[in-house]
Amino acid sequence: MSFRSDDLVDDIMHSAPHTIRVFLAFRMACVGCPIATFHTVDDACREHGIDRDKFLAALIECVPA
């Protein structure tokens, strides 16, 4: 499974619930946030001051083999 910076945050969490722990580890308050249905990964990282590439790498790394 791959993730891109233009993926919607809510879509990621719904299609791959195991990624929620990554959002929480990066202290992103996206879980349950109504804006998550509109925000892309890029938007959320910018909003929370997170390095997008590191965040995407962490999402990809948490995918079960």
pLDDT along the chain (65 residues), means of 10: 92 94 95 93 96 96 81
Determine the pLDDT at residue 53: 96
The owner of tokens 């109504």 is 34
Determine the pLDDT at residue 41: 97
CA distance 58 to 61: 5
Determine the pLDDT at residue 15: 93
Tell me the pTM: 0.89
Spatial neighbors of 21 by CB under 8 A, at least 6 apart, are 62
Determine the pLDDT at residue 65: 67
